[in-house]
Amino acid sequence: MRIHRFDTASLAAAPWKNGGGTTREIAAWPQGAGIDGFDWRVSIATIDQAGPFSAFAGVDRVIMLLDGSGVRLRSGDGRIEHRLDRPHAPFAFSGDMALDCELLGGPSTDFNVMTRRGRLRAEVRVLAGDSQVGPAAAGLLLALRGRWQLQGGDTTTLEPGAGLWWAQGPAGWHATPLDAEAALVAVRFEEALTPST
């Protein structure tokens, strides 16, 4: 297993085809997999204008507001109507659903997790205090606010906006905030449970 480090400030931004925003990919697995071939993918998106969200058949999604006024997400059939306006509150939904996105103010920035249904499922938690992140074969940690000390195979410190990810683990961590009002998002990927036959 190898630990990969990243800083969100240095991630390259790719414009959306519809011109409504940009995406900065943090990591995807397998490495180099395209949008149709990943098992999991984590990214940060900036939404600049209202418009449709792309549908991803067979993909489960978790989205979380990082900053900005947020958005309202609506499906055409009315099954989803959600105000994504509270920072650091993960919202899970099916990527099969085509959603319309309405800005609640100016641009907003969101944290996105995608998993291929039937292969993996994602657990997304936001930590504010001393916490254990249980072992997982793959995962990602990102300091949202404040500095964090992580103890796993070794000890490391994450500055705000910095993080790490791993695959082909397992790895587990003890996360300790070093600043007041610190927040860290912890993503764990686990194999999807298959129904018994």
Relative to beta strand 155-158, strand 183-191 is: unpaired
Cis status, amide bond into 160, omega within 30 of 0: no
Rounded to whole angstroms, how far apart are CA atoms 69 and 109? 9
Q: Is the dihedral of CA 38, 89, 142, 190 positive or negative?
A: negative
Q: Which residue, 127, 119, 104, is CA-closest to 182?
A: 127
This prediction has a pTM of 0.93
At 144 the pLDDT is 98
Write down the pLDDT at residue 196: 41
The answer to whether residues 122 and 192 touch, using CB atoms and an 8 Å cutoff, is no
Residue 57 in contact with residue 36, Cβ under 8 Å? no
Write down the pLDDT at residue 194: 56
* 3-state DSSP assignment of residue 9: helix
pLDDT at 27: 96
Instruction: Write down the pLDDT at residue 197.
Output: 39
Say whether 10 sits in a helix, a strand or coil: helix
Q: What is the mean pLDDT of each run of 10 residues along the chain (197 residues)?
A: 93 85 94 87 94 88 96 91 96 92 94 96 97 96 98 91 94 96 97 62
Number of Cβ within 10 Å of residue 52's Cβ equals: 12
Predicted confidence at residue 98, as pLDDT, reads: 84
